[in-house]
Amino acid sequence: MTPTQIQLLRQTWDEVAVMGADAALLFYARLFEIDPTTRRLFAEADLTAQSNKLMTALAGVVQGLDHFELLLPTLEDLGRRHTGYGVTDAHYDSVGAALLWTLEQAMGARWSAEAELAWADAYGFIADVMRNAAWRDASRMGTVTLADG
């Protein structure tokens, strides 16, 4: 990521983070709308608590932008755990779309093509790390592939 992208991510995150769990609830509503298969993943979850976890995770990523290599073990573990929750490869695409939509809604007229590209790049990196860790884990165990689902 370029310094300009990192600055954009931090700037936009600062504006969205003040919404707190409301931004995350907006995200989940959009996620369930564009990919109804994700709703079952949260059937027994307290969405308010889950929203707080999402906001905390995103804040951690934004804070760690200068040292993505330090985030790798956490992201890999997250990818492996999400497979156990029933997350499939297609879900990562739905999450990315819902995230970008949520950020755009939260930012309104302040949202820019440059900010969208920075977030898409950052999310793409995160999703790739998580997917690869889950795939490696599934391959070692001889279980289903992420393409299932």
pLDDT tens, residue by residue, 41-64: 999 999 999 999 999 999 999 999
User: Which pLDDT value is given to residue 142?
Assistant: 55
Residue 21 neighbours by CB under 8 Å, 6+ apart:
48, 51, 52, 55
pTM: 0.89
Architecture per CATH, domain 3-141, reads as Orthogonal Bundle (1.10)
pLDDT tens, residue by residue, 67-119: 888 999 999 999 999 988 899 989 999 999 999 999 999 999 999 999 999 99
**Which of residues 148 and 137 earns the better pLDDT score?**
137
